[in-house]
Amino acid sequence: MTPTVIAIHVAKARRLPMQAREQVEIEAGKGIVGDRHHGTRHRHVTVQSRESLDEAAAVFGQVVPSHLTRRNITVSHGVVPRDPGALLRVGDVLLEAVRIAAPCKLLDDTIGDGAQEALRRRAGTVFRVLEGGSIAVGDEVRSG
């Protein structure tokens, strides 16, 4: 079964709550229109797997809500590529992996003590946008 997009979240600025979206527009070389990282050098889109969040929840002892991790795109299952240069196609958008998305201390504040550690190596990947377009909940996710 092909992984699909199950959640999309954006925030207009740092520390503002993440807002769920059904669809977002993505600009090549810039990122998600309306997101706090739009126009940054490399941190255009972050992608995580619900499967990895469920693994973190088993370690953490409670559910890890997708929106509280502060990642943009959550896919249904599978491993999100981590190696720099790896390609991922989400709908009609082409993404290139930049680095692992390291969990920050803010997660302990928003999810609970121990969330940061539980999400280590499970917090997704930071991508740059090579080809823009739109991403919607339900879109398929495939390797480059």
Q: What tens digit of pLDDT does each residue of 105-140 get?
A: 888 888 989 989 999 889 999 999 999 999 999 999
Q: Are 71 and 64 in contact (CB under 8 A)?
A: no
The Cα–Cα gap between 62 and 2 comes to 27
The residues near 52 (Cβ < 8 Å, ≥ 6 apart) are 79, 80, 122, 123, 124
CA distances (Å), origin 83, targets 24, 73, 87, 90: 25, 18, 9, 17
- What's the pTM? 0.94
